[in-house]
Amino acid sequence: MSLMDWIVLFGVAAIAGSLGHALSGYSLGGRLVATAVGFVGALVGRWMGSALSLPEPLLIVFRGESFPLLWSILGSVFFTAALGLRARRRQQQ
């Protein structure tokens, strides 16, 4: 992968992570954290989609590299919500 491919994938991950933060209602940090959550969300979302035998409806392909946008957003929502619930439990104890 070239530098431009990585920049595009980081941009898509940042968008997916930011949308995941907004939809879950819990923010973990800034743009770098949103990008990391977007990549983790892509992994979690892709795993959930394949486990349930679901298609990848919003697949972004850039120079042969694919990035599942919808599963990334949904995965980052679940990942951020789970971390938010865990943080709230720690604060209550």
- Per-residue pLDDT of 33-92, as tens digits, reads 777 777 787 777 778 877 888 888 888 887 777 777 888 888 888 888 887 787 766 666
Span 23-42, average pLDDT:
74
Asked if pLDDT for residue 93 goes beyond 70, the answer is: no
Q: What is the DSSP letter of 25?
A: T
Amino acid at 66: S
CA dist., res. 42 & res. 91, Å (int)? 28
Q: How far, CA to CA in Å, does 18 sit from each of 14, 63, 92?
A: 6, 24, 26
- Structurally, how many domains does the chain consist of? 1
pLDDT of residue 85: 82
Q: Hey, is 66 helix, strand or coil?
A: strand
Helix, strand or coil, per DSSP, at residue 43:
helix
Comparing CA positions, the residue from 83, 84, 80, 85 lying closest to residue 18 is: 80
Mean pLDDT of 21-39: 74
Domain, as residue range, for 21: 3-92
User: Residue 56's pLDDT is what?
Assistant: 81
